[in-house]
Structure 1
Amino acid sequence: MNRISARRGGASSPIFARSPAGSKRTRARIRGAALIGSLALAGAAHAELLKFETRPDGPNEAVVATVKLDGTSHDIAGTLAKPAKPAKPPSGAKALLIETQSSDDVKPLALERGLAVLTLDVAKLPDKARAPALRDVLGHLRGALKMKRVLGRAQGSDADAMTDAASAFDGLLLHDANREPAAPTRFIETWGADAYWREKPRVEFANGAPPNGRRFYLAGIAASTTATNCAAPVNARPSAPALRALFAALDEWTAKGVAPPAARAPLDADLAPAQDLKWPKIPGLPAPPEGARRVPKIDADGNEIAGLRLPDVALPVATFTGFNAQKNKKGPPCAAAAAIPFAATKLDREKNLDPRPALVERYGSRAYFVATVRVIADKLVKERLLLQQDADAYVAAARSAPF
C-alpha cells in the first residue's frame, strides 16, 4: 500500500493510498496536498478528512477513512468497486455511486453503467457526524478520483444524512427519508407500505414533489423481510426491481438531463383513516396496528391501490400488507409485514372460509395469468419503471404460480 501524505502543522498525515506508480504517485501527492484542509459545513459542524486509504481486496479495494468532527476522530470503513472499462460508459463521464449499506439491489447495475461504487459504513458514526463525514469525504474524492458526477443511495436515517449533505451530490436515490434535498441536487424518493403502519407512521407531504425531485410509493412492499417471531406468512416482495429502474432514471437525469418518469405517490384522496379501511375477513390476517394514522386505500383483496404497482401486486397471488403481528407475545417484535396467499381453487377457499376469489376463479388458467403479467410488465418497461431483465423475471416467476 502506498500512502499519499500532506503536512499539517508539522505532522505528516496519510490522505490517499494508491498502488505504486512512479510519476503517477507524485501527481497523486500533489492532488492530495491541494485537496487537504477543513471544510466549512452547515451549522456548527466542522469536519476534516484526516486519512483516506485504499488497498487491494480481491476484485475491489478496501477503504479506510478517518474524519475529525468537533475535536473527535471517527473511523469509517468501506469498499470501492470499479467498473469494467467499456469503450464508452453508458452513463457518460466518470461517475461514482455512494452507498451506506452493502447491497446487490443497485450496485451491479451501477457498475454495468460505468459508475464506480463506494460503500461507506457510517452506521457507527453519531447521527450528527454522518452528514459532515459524507460531505467531507466526497469533497475530496471528487477531485482525487476525477469524478464528474456523484450519486448517493441510502435509506432511513442514512437517507436523512445524505439529504443534509446533498450539496456534495448530483443526485440521490432515497428510501424512507424524512427530509428532501434542496435544489439543485436531484432526487428520487421511495417508501413502502410499512412506513404507514409502524409505531411512528409516515406523515405525507402537503404538496407535490419540487422540480428537482420525484416521489414513488412502492405499493405492498415492506422494507424488512425478517421472519423472526411473525404470526402470519412474511411479505417478501422485493423492492429491487423498482429501485434498479429508478436508479437508471436518476443516472440519465443527472448525466444527460433526461427527465425521469412522473411521480407515483399517494395524494390526499388516495389515503384514508386506518380505522375506516374495510378489510376482507381473511383467515390468518393479523389485526392492523392501532393508533391514529392515514394509510393508502385498499381494494377488495386488501391490496393497496395507489402508487407504483409492480406486476406481482397489479396481478396478485396474495394479499400484501405493511404490517404483521408477534407470534409469541413474550418474544421479539416481528419486523416484517404479512402476505396471505389466495387459495388455488374455489373448493380450497370455501374450506377455509376465505372470501377472496381463488386463483382459478380470477385468472382462469396459468397461460392467461402468464400472458397478462407480460402485458403489465412490458407496459412498465415502456414507462421506464421496470428494466427489461426484471420484466422477464416477473414473467418467469408467473410460470410457477401455485395454480
Structure 2
Amino acid sequence: MTTTDPFTGKTDSRYATCIATDTCPLAAEIYSSNEYWVKATSLLHTGPAGTVDLPDSPYARNYLMSSHQHGTGNASSKGNCQQFLNPLNSAPVQRALFLALDDWTNGILPPPSRVPKLADGTLVPPLPQSGMGFPNIPGVTYTGLKTTRYLLDYGPDFYETGIATINPPVIALPYEDNPLNGPIYPSYVPKTDSDGNDIAGVRSPEVTVPLATYTGWALRAGPQANDGCEASGQMIPFARTRAEREAAGDPRPSIEERYPSFGMYYSAVMRAIDDLVKDRLMLCEDADDERARLLQAGLDKGVPPPSGNLPPQANVPHCLGQAAKK
C-alpha cells in the first residue's frame, strides 16, 4: 500500500519497485515488543502520520512477539538495568512461522498478522501510564520513555539528492519528543493488561499463563539511571502468596491467588499451548518440551505441587489430531 509522508509530501511504498518488476518476495516479519519502544516499529503498520492502521501487504504478514525483549535475556541477571532481564524465547514461534512461510510459497496462506492496532485500542501512547495499562508495581520505575523518530535536518537538499550538508544533524536536548529536532513521526507501543503484559500479538504461554510481568522495555541503573536500557526488557516476578503481595503493596495477584491448584495451572498451560498449535504458531515437535518446561517453572515459582508424583501428561489436543492424519 502506498502512503504519503505528511512532512515531505512524497508518496511511495516499500513494495513499489518489486511490484513493478514482479519480483516481490514473501515475508513473515517478526518484531519483539522492544522494537516498538526502541525502534518505532508501529510505523511499519500505521500510516506515517500515525492516525490509521495499514492493511497487510499481499506479500507480508506481521507478528508482534508479545512482551518480548530484543533477543532472550538472562533472568538471573540485571545487567546494567534496574530489573531482571526478560527470558522469553520466541524460537518456538519463529520455527512455526518459518514453516508457514515455506507453505505460503505453495499456496497455503500463513497465520493472519498479529500486531497491536489503533482501531481496537491495543496500540497506544506510552503516557499517561493509566492509558497504556502498565500497573504501579512497587520498586519498578515507569517513565514511558520510548524512541522518537524525526525528519532530521541534514541540509536543504538531502531528501532529494541524498547528499548531507549538515552531518550530523543538529540535535537539541531533550532528545525525545522535542519538536526542535524536527517534525515527529508519531509512534506507539503495545497496550498492556493489568499485569503489565502486552495484550495484542503472539502471546507465548508464559504471557497467557504468567508467572511474572514481562516487558520489552527497561531502564538503566547506576549513573545513567532511567535512561533506556536499549534492547533489554524486564522480568518482574509475581509474589508467591497473597500475604507477600499485600505486604509489598503489589496490585498484581500472587501465584497462590492465580493458581490455587496444580490442576488449574496445568489446564491453563495446556490450553495456551494448544491454541498456538491450532493457529499454526507452534509445532507439535516443540509442544511437549514447552509443556514440561512451563510446568516445572510453575512449580519453581510457587504453583502448588500435585499430590504424589506428576500426573501422566496428556498430549496437546491438536497434536493428537495431527498425529492421526499421518
Which has the higher relative contact order, 1 or 2, with Cα contacts under 8 A spaced 6 or more apart?
2
Match of 1:310 in 2: 204
Match of 1:262 in 2: 112
Match of 1:384 among 276, 280, 288: 280
Task: Give the alignment of 1:164-183 within 5 angstroms.
Answer: none
* Cα displacement (A) at 1:229: 0.9
Taking a change above 3 Å as real, the CA distance of residues 378 and 347 of structure 1, as seen in their structure-2 partners, is: same
CA–CA separation in structure 2 for the residues paired with 1:387 and 1:369: 21
The count of residues paired between Structure 1 and Structure 2 equals: 225
**CA offsets per residue over residues 8-47 of structure 1, 9 Å max, x none?**
xxxxxxxxxxxxxxxxxxxxxxxxxxxxxxxxxxxxxxxx
* Cα displacement (A) at 1:233: 0.9
Match of 1:46 in 2: none
Q: Which runs of 5+ in 2 are unaligned?
A: 1-13, 47-53, 146-175, 178-186, 303-326
CA–CA separation in structure 1 for the residues paired with 2:93 and 2:65: 8
C-alpha contact 1:271 1:297 (8 A) present in aligned 2: yes
* Cα displacement (A) at 1:183: 5.6
Alignment of 1:251 with 2:107, yes or no, is: no
CA–CA separation in structure 2 for the residues paired with 1:330 and 1:309: 32
Alignment of 1:216 with 2:66, yes or no, is: no
CA–CA separation in structure 1 for the residues paired with 2:57 and 2:23: 9
Instruction: Tell which deviates more after alignment, 320-329 or 200-209.
Output: 200-209
Which protein has the bigger strand share? Answer: 1
Q: What is the SS of the residue equivalent to 2:213? A: strand
Q: Which amino acid aligns with 2:79?
A: T
Alignment of 1:300 with 2:140, yes or no, is: no
Match of 2:82 among 231, 234, 240: 231
Q: Which amino acid aligns with 2:188?
A: R
C-alpha contact 2:214 2:234 (8 A) present in aligned 1: yes
CA–CA separation in structure 1 for the residues paired with 2:224 and 2:196: 29
CA–CA separation in structure 2 for the residues paired with 1:372 and 1:220: 19
Match of 2:221 among 327, 337, 359: 327
Q: What is the SS of the residue equivalent to 1:399? A: helix
Taking a change above 3 Å as real, the CA distance of residues 283 and 393 of structure 1, as seen in their structure-2 partners, is: farther
Match of 1:286 among 141, 145, 149: 141
C-alpha contact 1:373 1:394 (8 A) present in aligned 2: no
**CA offsets per residue over residues 245-304 of structure 1, 9 Å max, x none?**
1001011212x2211111111221321111033231212323234355421111111111
Match of 2:269 among 373, 382, 385: 373
Match of 2:311 in 1: none
Taking a change above 3 Å as real, the CA distance of residues 183 and 304 of structure 1, as seen in their structure-2 partners, is: farther
Taking a change above 3 Å as real, the CA distance of residues 244 and 288 of structure 1, as seen in their structure-2 partners, is: farther
Match of 2:93 among 208, 230, 242: 242
Q: Which amino acid aligns with 1:250?
A: L
TM-score (norm 2): 0.63
* Cα displacement (A) at 1:204: 4.0
Match of 1:272 in 2: 124
Q: Which runs of 5+ in 1 are unaligned?
A: 1-162, 168-181
Instruction: Look at both structures and tell me which one has the larger radius of gyration over its CA atoms.
Output: 1
Taking a change above 3 Å as real, the CA distance of residues 288 and 201 of structure 1, as seen in their structure-2 partners, is: farther
Match of 1:359 in 2: 255
C-alpha contact 1:241 1:390 (8 A) present in aligned 2: yes
C-alpha contact 1:280 1:301 (8 A) present in aligned 2: yes
* Cα displacement (A) at 1:196: 1.8
CA–CA separation in structure 2 for the residues paired with 1:264 and 1:216: 5
CA–CA separation in structure 2 for the residues paired with 1:391 and 1:183: 36
Q: What is the SS of the residue equivalent to 2:292? A: helix
Q: What is the SS of the residue equivalent to 2:127? A: helix
CA–CA separation in structure 2 for the residues paired with 1:348 and 1:303: 21
Q: What is the SS of the residue equivalent to 1:275? A: coil
Match of 1:185 in 2: 25
Alignment of 1:205 with 2:52, yes or no, is: no
- Report % sequence identity: 36
CA–CA separation in structure 2 for the residues paired with 1:288 and 1:197: 12
* Cα displacement (A) at 1:398: 2.5
TM-score (norm 1): 0.52
**CA offsets per residue over residues 21-79 of structure 1, 9 Å max, x none?**
xxxxxxxxxxxxxxxxxxxxxxxxxxxxxxxxxxxxxxxxxxxxxxxxxxxxxxxxxxx
